């Protein structure tokens, strides 16, 4: 079955309308369960760093292979029953890899709590979408955390899945989600995962290298074509600040968004009780307010739309070739 631009359009529209309804079956949750089981099989507590690197590489290859083959077989089975069923299955898988509406929905819980003046609830809600300690955050830092999360995940949750859907259809996009989910579960520099999760973290960096940079340019494009924001400043700040981050990729969408919106992101965060100074991205031309959060959401949707059109065009081109 050929995954064409029309299928991509239906999947994209479904994501905008439905998001990720709680209780609905979702492949990424199944990938998380698979990751947990394979990790239990391969992780050696007493293994040497070299052996943990080897077992971590085998772990990564196993998860990617299982996810890719399972997706391929599922699509083949559905197509074998009926062509339309195969198309529906492909659209459903593609839809589950996208997260535009979910990014809005989850971050909006934080903003809604702040609009009601419930600072404690806002801390709890932002703690659901970031890894830093949020128990003592004031409103400005809560908003900064929410804006940073939305900006960074423009790449992981929107641009990268659309990029891989355009290049390789649902199988490629699901393989990407497996890689991204592994990084979020084991790609940490702590005692448990420093060596075992090394391969997963590096692989995620590689697969996100192009999408992260495309995200920065898409944000600048969305800023000028849809929102009349400062696209030149988005590109300037991205060139200046994107490589300040330890991550080779996260700084590109964050710095571009900071530049387009005239915000300064980054600064001190607390992880496991220890303050960590993150590099600042952008200049504080405007304050971090609920209005700034609303502008970030508009920028996210505009970036999502411009990326979709580019992905659909690329998919058409690849079909034609």
- Summarize pLDDT for 91-134 with one digit per residue, the tens: 999 999 999 999 999 999 999 999 999 999 999 999 999 989 99
Domain of residue 183 covers 5-320
Number of domains comprising the chain? 1
Q: In terms of C-beta density within 10 A (0-12 exposed, 13-18 middle, 19 or more buried), how is residue 318 classed? A: middle
* Confidence band of 39 (pLDDT split at 50, 70, 90): very high
CA gap 249, 160 in Å, rounded: 12
Note whether 303 and 154 are within 8 A (CB): yes
Averaged pLDDT score across all residues of the chain = 95
The per-residue pLDDT for 310 is: 97
The per-residue pLDDT for 120 is: 97
The candidate with the shortest Cα–Cα distance to 292, out of 192, 144, 164, 104, is 144
Q: In terms of C-beta density within 10 A (0-12 exposed, 13-18 middle, 19 or more buried), how is residue 46 classed? A: exposed
Note whether 85 and 79 are within 8 A (CB): yes
pLDDT of 272 above 80 = no
pLDDT of 253 above 80 = yes
Q: Which residues of 127-144 are buried (b: 16+ CB within 10 A; e: fewer)?
A: bebbebbbeebeeebbbb
Using one digit for the tens of pLDDT, what is the confidence trace for 186-231?
A: 998 888 999 999 999 999 999 999 999 999 999 999 999 999 999 9
- Kind plus residue range of the DSSP H or E element containing 269: strand 265-271
The per-residue pLDDT for 9 is: 98
CA gap 140, 69 in Å, rounded: 46
CB within 8 Å of 145: residues ≥ 6 apart = 110, 126, 129, 130, 132, 134, 137, 269
* % residues pLDDT > 70 (the chain): 100
The per-residue pLDDT for 129 is: 94
Note whether 133 and 273 are within 8 A (CB): yes
pLDDT of 21 above 90 = no
């Amino acid at each position: 079955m050929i995954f064409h631009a029309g299928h991509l359009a239906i999947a994209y529209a479904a994501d905008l309308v439905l998001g990720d309804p709680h209780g609905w079956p979702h492949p990424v949750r199944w990938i998380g369960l698979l990751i947990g089981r394979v990790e239990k099989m391969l992780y050696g507590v007493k293994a040497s760093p070299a052996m943990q690197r080897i077992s971590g590489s085998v772990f990564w290859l196993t998860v990617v292979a299982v996810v890719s083959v399972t997706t391929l077989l599922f699509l083949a089975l559905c197509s074998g029953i009926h062509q339309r069923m195969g198309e529906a299955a492909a659209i459903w898988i593609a839809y589950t890899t996208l997260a535009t509406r979910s990014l809005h929905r989850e971050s909006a819980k934080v903003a809604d709590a702040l609009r009601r003046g419930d600072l404690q609830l806002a801390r709890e809600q932002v703690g659901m979408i970031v890894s830093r300690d949020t128990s003592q955050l004031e409103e400005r830092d809560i908003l900064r955390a929410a804006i940073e999360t939305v900006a960074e995940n423009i790449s992981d949750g929107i641009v990268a899945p659309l990029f891989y859907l355009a290049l390789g259809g649902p199988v490629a996009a699901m393989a990407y989600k497996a890689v991204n989910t592994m990084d979020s579960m084991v790609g940490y520099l702590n005692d448990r995962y420093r060596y075992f999760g090394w391969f997963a973290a590096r692989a995620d960096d590689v697969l996100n290298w192009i999408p992260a940079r495309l995200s920065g340019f898409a944000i600048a494009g969305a800023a000028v074509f849809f929102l009349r924001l400062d696209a030149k400043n988005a590109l300037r700040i991205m060139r200046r600040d994107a490589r300040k981050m330890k991550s080779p990729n996260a700084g590109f969408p964050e710095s571009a968004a900071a530049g387009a919106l005239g915000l300064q992101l980054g600064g001190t965060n607390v992880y496991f009780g220890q303050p960590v100074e993150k590099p600042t991205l952008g200049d504080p031309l405007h304050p971090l307010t609920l209005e700034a959060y609303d502008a970030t959401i508009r920028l996210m949707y505009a970036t999502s739309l411009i990326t979709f059109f580019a992905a659909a065009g690329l998919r058409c081109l690849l079909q034609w070739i």
